[in-house]
Amino acid sequence: LCRPWSVNEMTNRLIGKCAVITGGGRGIGKSIALAFAQEGARCVITSRHIEDLVATAAEAPDGSLIPLVCDVGDSSSVEDMANIALRKLGKVDIVVNNAGVHAAGKFVDIDPEVYLDLYNVNVVGTVRVSQAFLPSMIDIGRGNIVNIASTAGLFESPGQAPYNASKHGVVGLTKCMALELATTGVTCNAICPGFVDTPMLDGFAKLMNAENDALRSELAKKTPMKRILQPEEIAHLALYLASDESAGMTGQTIAISNGMRMA
């Protein structure tokens, strides 16, 4: 249904652009990084796991992806990453806040500390990275911030209270950022994926004591289109939001969920 980019399909939509993509070593972040690189962008990709970053960079055109270890849950780590990224890229036109963590379980059983951990990465991590690059974006009078939220940030679901609450936070944050940045030339939008075939889904299966294939099959049945999204499908949307084609769009939360969320 959706194929990765190839060099022959390159349309140069991001030629001359520089991007930072957090959580860029696997899953959705990896697909976004490869899509951006194939469209001509130079990107810094970050993760806590250098091996994932190096493997992703090896799949892209030479020199287009620069791996940097960063923990978005740590202010010093983000500051160090931002300084290196700006030095290596010279500027940053695009920030994709994709790094995130997940937790599941019954509400009455989940320690409140779990909420703090998820908020620190999913919400405050988005704040840290965005604030690190916004001054340079505002200086050049343009930029695109793409926050990867979730359909969990648009409605309720059982067994995921900390995750849902944090993704609702990302959605609200996106709108506030967009409003305040509206006159600066910087846009801010959020993508809200439904069920995506990524390593995070494997982690969810483990938390729910379910087999990976069985969980995927069950989740697919819950969608009108009866399937699971592929990471490349999210990358297509991120590419649009990062390009000049979406210049008039800001403060939007766009669901891509195989019809699971239609409003």
Residue 145: beta bridge partners? 95, 188
Catalytic site residue 163? yes
CA dist., res. 256 & res. 263, Å (int): 11
Whether 225 and 258 have beta carbons less than 8 Å apart is answered as: yes
Calpha distance 100→122 (Å, rounded): 5
Radius of gyration over every alpha carbon of the chain, rounded to an integer in angstroms? 17
- Report d(CA 132, CA 126) in Å as an integer: 10
253: helix, coil or strand? strand
Give the whole-angstrom CA distance, residue 44 versus residue 157: 34
Determine contact, residues 201/215, Cβ cutoff 8 Å: yes
SS3 content of the chain, % helix, strand, coil (to 5): 50, 15, 35
Are the C-beta atoms of 14 and 41 separated by less than 8 Å? yes
Q: How is residue 105 written in tokens?
A: 């379980």
| Chain centroid offset of residue 207 CA | 22
Which of these, 189, 93, 207, lies nearest to 146 by C-alpha position?
189
Q: Among the options 115, 119, 163, 240, which is catalytic?
A: 163
Active site residues: 163
